[in-house]
Amino acid sequence: MSDVNAAPTAENLAEIKDLGVSFMTDAGSIKAVDGVSFTIPRGTVVGVVGESGSGKSVTARSIIKLLPETATTSGAVMLSKRDGSGELDVLSMSGEDLRRMRGSEAAMVFQEPNSVLNPVYTIGWQIEEGLRAHGMKDKKQLRAKAIDILKKVGIPDAETRVDYYPHQFSGGQKQRIVIAMALVLNPGLILADEPTTALDVTVQAEILDLLRLAKDEFGASVLIITHNMGVVADLADQVVVMYRGHVVEQGDVEQVFYHPNHPYTKRLLASVPRIGQQLVVRDLDGRVIERDGDWRDQPIAVEAKGLTITYPGHLMQPDFVAVNGIDFTLRRSEVLGLVGESGSGKSTTGRAIAGLQKVSGGSLKVLGVEMNGVRERDFKPKRADIGFVFQDPGSSFNPLMTIAQNVAEPLIVHGKYRDVAEARDYVGDLLEMVQLPRVYMNRFPHELSGGQRQRASLARALALKPSLLIADEPTSALDVSVQAKVLELFKRLQAEIGFACLFITHDLAVVDMLADRVMVMHKGSIVEHGDTEDIMQRPQDPYTRKLLASLPVPDPREQRMHREQLHALLAQG
């Protein structure tokens, strides 16, 4: 266990002592971080874990005093200079001193690269900007430095792509560029705030390797903020667990994972989905809730034969084939998991089933209606039988309408009720079904947490008692403990209502917990499909094996073997 009152030592790059951060709001002062103390030793990776709102990001931003003007700080943040020439008392620094410190002594990698990269400048110019701000003027030297750092973070053809704009890179490549911007001045400390949250598991594995490179080759210490315990097991040497603005546990990674002391840490570790772990839901009397009958005996709800979906090209660009001649069936009361990386065609397939995307070729029958060339008036009666749970409920809810109005909307559109007042009792029942109290009906979407919004989104999708539900990455942005509750709720409702479900995700552990069968998509084609247990335990396709090996396991020793297995697979090509 770290001694939080230790005097500054040569081993520690940074020390956070009794840090407090409050924000002034219209409702008064809100304490986001309260009495937080821990150290970041030189040449180590420290993982800070906890749910949304635990104070992780505020703590990290305090280390470089990147806080809004409404923030009030107390305590101390001491940062040793990289060259060992002294210490910086960060919270007492201002203006020019802070500007010099940021980038050269400590640099931040943000969660969303699009919020960092300016779309109107080349990425080379943006990397050079940090060097210019710290006094480098020679144009040739600036360009050479930018190309060199791009090569180090694994951007192919760096000499050419240094002149590209952000939109010409994939999400994973943009995150690499943001890490390059942080590394270019060779700082002693890299602060990485949820750097892999929105990325596919294979890209996530690459970014984690890159952060490991920052420690091993650049000699930097890394503070990584995440709610993914697999990421912590993969990368961290030490762990700090935060809950409601406090540090509840800290220690080396093996101690925290194998001998957790605090109930919250135990709960966090228990919430992590793992391959081979079955999700069992029980009623109030402890009886296991199961579906009536075998899904294999049920009629077919969706059938695709040679399904092709093409996006027309623009400005002399060729057409893009998003889904390329796939075949599959989905039976009533079955959960079919559809997995693959971004751009594999998963969401396009889901949208076509929901009638939100035109079919270009082949056949797609949804609840008995042929979707290739379908007319809206023929499909409209079936829309009430299809529910859709979106990845981001925040953007699918109308922010000007209450939760009751949002959930009641499909009921009113399809003529089940005349207005919200008439639907109110039923909407209250729906919210209680997804374990949200009735009082939430009068709240607006922004007043709910991410997990609560996702539950309300599920209530709206189930409002018309659909026989088919399409869930598009419904848990990818949620904390593990919230995700566990949503998945449990999902399984319970599916068993009770018996809807057919296409569950789209890139998290294989989630699919393993929920799905009866799995389809793996890659570049518009289905490379493997079968019963969940067969695919998870005995994958045949190299791509499926790579996906499974890329998924970080919340166990440090097991994850080390897992990482070696992934590197061996990648070496085989």
| Cβ–Cβ under 8 Å, residues 318 and 325 | no
446-474 exposure pattern, b = at least 16 Cβ within 10 A, e = fewer: eebebbbbbbbbbbbbbbbebbbbbbbbb
Please tell me whether residues 195 and 258 are part of one structural domain.
yes
Rounded distance between C-alpha atoms, residue 94 and residue 426, angstroms: 56
> Does residue 551 form part of some domain?
no
d(CA 368, CA 541): 32
Q: Does 530 reside within a domain?
A: no
pLDDT of residue 198: 66
Decide which of 166, 186, 206 is a domain's last residue.
186
3-state secondary structure (DSSP) of residue 271: helix
Distance between CA atoms of residues 536 and 509, nearest Å: 9
**Number of Cβ within a 10 Å radius of residue 245:** 23
Tell the residue number behind the tokens 């030592």, with chain if given. 9
Q: Please tell me the predicted confidence (pLDDT) of residue 146.
A: 92
Q: Which of 170, 186, 202 is the last residue of a domain?
A: 186
Q: Is the dihedral of CA 531, 466, 280, 544 positive or negative?
A: positive
21/168 same-domain check: no
Q: Are 240 and 251 in contact (CB under 8 A)?
A: no
Structural element, H or E, at residue 33:
strand 28-41
d(CA 188, CA 64): 12
What is the pLDDT at residue 5? 41
Structure tokens at 3: 């001694």
Q: What is the C-alpha to C-alpha distance for residues 239 and 233, in angstroms, rounded to an integer?
A: 9
Please check whether residue 153 is in contact with residue 177, taking contact to mean a CB–CB distance below 8 angstroms: yes
- CA-CA distance, 491 to 503, in Å (whole number)? 11
Distance CA(145)–CA(180), nearest Å, equals: 11
Task: Indicate if 95 and 218 belong to the same structural domain.
Answer: yes
Please indicate, yes or no, if residue 407 is contained in any of the structural domains: no
Considering the domain architecture, whether residues 13 and 77 belong to the same structural domain is answered as yes
Number of domains composing the chain: 2
HSE at residue 358, side-chain half, CA atoms within 13 A, is: 7
3-state secondary structure of 234: helix
Question: H or E element: which one contains 11?
Answer: none
Predicted pLDDT of residue 89 = 86
The pLDDT of residue 495: 84
Angle (CA) 36 186 84, round 5°: 65
- Clarify whether residues 85 and 25 are in a common domain: yes
Cα dihedral 418, 399, 196, 154 sign: positive
- Is 19 inside a domain boundary? yes
Owning domain of residue 13: 1-105+188-273
Between β-strands 517-522 and 525-531, what pairing exists: parallel, antiparallel or unpaired?
Answer: antiparallel
Residues 17, 133 within the same domain: no
Closest CA to 375 of 395, 389, 359, 391: 359
Q: Burial of 167 by CB count in 10 Å (0-12 exposed, 13-18 middle, 19+ buried)?
A: exposed
The predicted pLDDT at position 8 comes to 45
pLDDT score recorded for residue 365: 94
- Who's near 92: CB < 8 A, 6+ residues apart? none
Q: How many CB atoms lie within 10 A of CB 544?
A: 22
- Residue 321, beta-bridge partner list: 310
Last residue of a domain, one of 247, 273, 299: 273
Q: Which burial class, exposed, middle or buried, applies to 23 when counting CB atoms under 10 A from its CB (0-12, 13-18, 19+)?
A: middle
Residues 101 and 20 in one domain: yes
Query: How many CB atoms neighbour CB 308 within 10 A?
Result: 19
Looking at the structure, do residues 35 and 84 belong to the same domain, yes or no? yes
How far apart are the C-alpha atoms of 229 and 280, rounded to whole Å?
22
Query: Which of the residues in the chain have pLDDT under 50?
Result: 1-8
161 domain residue, yes or no: yes
Does residue 30 share a domain with residue 123?
A: no
160 and 238 share one domain: no
- Amino acid, single-letter form, for residue 118: N
Per DSSP, 402 falls in state -
Token code pair at residue 538 = 């005995």
480 within some domain: no
Q: What is the CATH number of the domain that holds 214?
A: 3.40.50.300
- pLDDT tens-digit series, residues 91-107: 888 888 888 888 888 88
Q: Where are the beta strands (DSSP E) in 125-281?
A: 189-193, 221-226, 238-243, 246-252
Terminal C-alpha separation, the chain: 42
Length of the chain: 573
Q: Are residues 86 and 229 in the same domain?
A: yes
Domain-embedded: residue 471: no
Same domain for 99 and 205: yes
CB contact at 8 A, 476 and 505: yes
DSSP 55: S
Does residue 171 contact residue 115 with C-beta atoms inside 8 Å? no
- pTM exceeding the 0.85 threshold for the entire prediction: no
Cα(22)–Cα(34) distance, integer angstroms: 8
Asked whether the beta carbons of 520 and 328 are under 8 A apart, the reply is no
Measured CA to CA, the distance from residue 468 to residue 302 in angstroms comes to: 9
Tell me the two tokens of residue 12.
Answer: 């520690």
User: Residue 422 corresponds to which amino acid?
Assistant: E
Q: Which residues pair with 554 in a beta bridge?
A: none
CA separation for the pair 492, 494 (Å, rounded)? 6
Residue 298 lies in a domain: no
